[in-house]
Amino acid sequence: MIILVINAGSSSLKYQLFNMAGAIVMARGSIERIGETKGVLTHHICMPGQGKKIVKEQKVKDHNRGMHLVANLIIDPDTGVIDNIKNIDAIGHRVVQGGETFGSAVLINDRVKQAIIDNSPLAPLHNPPNLVGIMAAEKLFPKIPNIAVFDTEFHQSIPQKAFLYALPYEYYSKLKVRKYGFHGTSHKYVSRKAAKLMEKDIDKTNLITIHLGNGCSVTAIEKGKCIDTSMGMTPLAGIMMGTRTGDIDPAIIGYLMEQTGKTIKELDIVLNQKSGLLGICGMNDMRDIHEKIDAGHTKAALAVEMFCYQVKKYIGAYAAVLGHIDAIVFTAGVGENDPIIRAKTCENLSFLGIWISPEKNNQKTSKPFYLHSEDSQVQVWVVPTNEELQIAKDVQKLLK
């Protein structure tokens, strides 16, 4: 089965073509700066023995044109990996916010498209471009089934006591204010992969999965099902991130409006784009931050202390919620590549049965590995995330 996975942003279109026999990536790429004077196309041929990368600059008017270019790149004799578009069995689309409407992947029809529109106020930067990508694919490939896979889907098993905010109840019933959670596809992928690596049945496994990229979230997984997650109604909540605050006292917003005269829109930019690691030390890339710490930058050191402290607090909270943990799983840019952050986060957690081995933690590999020491009661893993493959797997499951 051949599945094309599309992730459409407001000015970008990312794609991966999978051959599900062996879950092989045949080709992947992106079109950036759609609608601008110069678009950038990057296309990788990933077939074994044929690795090749093509980068081109050209104006790409809109997502329809972008989708057309993707189709051409995939079948072109020079850059292609299949003979005919008809060889694609299905197209999986990443959609960020499915609200409470969708608990699993769904074949796209008019009702689904309307639901994506209805949920757009909850994800105004993501759902509208996701829908534009869907419509472009439908137009270009009218005979291929289009399937939506929602970031929020994995979190739909969170119970009401964990997803409700203690606000007047009608804000939930009338205005949909509740925790939805994000990075769901990533948490789902790494939890299943980790269980497999541990040779355990996911339905009998309790995990804390920790996604640390530009955005960061922690998820409590009980017997394979998500029962709580750190992000909230929006991806601003939870632990501090590259540029986002994470949890703060909500009364700070009113106080800052009064003290600074900033509007709610201006403060929204501060909370989402000027806070987190960047707000504390002026940098949001963890590699730069470590470099500056080595050079004696005290605020960079403080940012790392705060970051690891907050991740550790979620480990403690979710350990209490789960009662028993089989493993902790780190993933995404920082989680996969940063032994300092992993070590600091797991420091002094021996009371939970967590011990890591410095040698194992320091290994450099793009493959999954464990870093717990022999006597640790809880396993600790690094599992590189692969959201696109999870989307392709969900599409395959639905078609079957």
Mind telling me the catalytic residues?
151
Pick the closer one to ligand ADP by CB: 278 or 322: 278
Q: For the beta carbon of residue 86, count every other beta carbon within 10 angstroms.
A: 11
CB of 283 to ligand ADP, least distance (A): 9
286 binds ligand ADP (CB under 6 A): yes
Q: What gap in Å lies between CA 62 and CA 31, rounded to an integer?
A: 10
Q: What gap in Å lies between CA 364 and CA 330, rounded to an integer?
A: 14
240 binds ligand ADP (CB under 6 A): no
Range in contact with ligand ADP (rule: CB under 6 A) among 47-55, 134-142, 228-236, 334-342: 334-342
Residues facing residue 137 across a β-bridge: none
Q: In what order do the strands lie in the sheet with 90-95?
A: 52-58, 39-45, 24-32, 13-19, 2-8, 90-95, 146-150, 106-107
334 binds ligand ADP (CB under 6 A): yes
Q: By three-state DSSP, how is residue 39 classified?
A: strand
Closest CA relative to residue 157, chosen from 203, 196, 123: 203
Q: By three-state DSSP, how is residue 288 classified?
A: helix
92 binds ligand ADP (CB under 6 A): no
Binding to ligand ADP by CB under 6 A, coded x per residue (else -) over 338-377, reads x---------------------------------------
CB of 299 to ligand ADP, least distance (A): 16
Size of the site for ligand ADP (CB under 6 A): 12
268 binds ligand ADP (CB under 6 A): no
Out of 287, 294, 362, 377, point to the residue binding ligand ADP (CB under 6 A): 287
Phi first, then psi: give them for residue 397, nearest 5 degrees.
-60, -45
* Tokens linked to 234: 């929006």
User: C-alpha angle 180/398/100, rounded to 5°?
Assistant: 20
Binding to ligand ADP by CB under 6 A, coded x per residue (else -) over 113-142, reads ------------------------------
Q: What gap in Å lies between CA 18 and CA 36, rounded to an integer?
A: 29
Q: What gap in Å lies between CA 5 and CA 267, rounded to an integer?
A: 35
Out of 215, 224, 235, 246, point to the residue binding ligand ADP (CB under 6 A): 215
Pick the closer one to ligand ADP by CB: 92 or 384: 384
* Helices 264-273 and 251-260, packing angle to 10 deg: 120
Range in contact with ligand ADP (rule: CB under 6 A) among 134-142, 148-156, 210-218, 298-306: 210-218
Pick the closer one to ligand ADP by CB: 319 or 332: 332
Pick the closer one to ligand ADP by CB: 17 or 286: 286
Out of 64, 337, 357, 373, point to the residue binding ligand ADP (CB under 6 A): 337
Instruction: Provide Rg for the chain, Cα atoms.
Output: 22
CB of 213 to ligand ADP, least distance (A): 2
Range in contact with ligand ADP (rule: CB under 6 A) among 217-225, 254-262, 285-293, 351-359: 285-293
Pick the closer one to ligand ADP by CB: 74 or 382: 382
With 0-12 / 13-18 / 19 or more C-beta atoms within 10 angstroms meaning exposed / middle / buried, residue 306 is: middle
Site for ligand ADP in 303-332 (CB under 6 A): 332
Residue sitting closest to ligand ADP (CB): 333
Pairing label, strands 13-19, 24-32: antiparallel
Q: Which residues contact 225 (CB under 8 A, 6 or more apart)?
A: 157
* Tokens linked to 381: 């893993």
Q: What gap in Å lies between CA 335 and CA 244, rounded to an integer?
A: 17
CB of 287 to ligand ADP, least distance (A): 5
Out of 285, 343, 360, 373, point to the residue binding ligand ADP (CB under 6 A): 285
CB 182 within 8 A of CB 213: no
CB of 334 to ligand ADP, least distance (A): 5
* 3-state percent breakdown (helix, strand, coil) of the chain, nearest 5: 40, 20, 40
The contact set with ligand ADP (CB under 6 A) reads 213-215, 242, 285-287, 332-334, 337-338
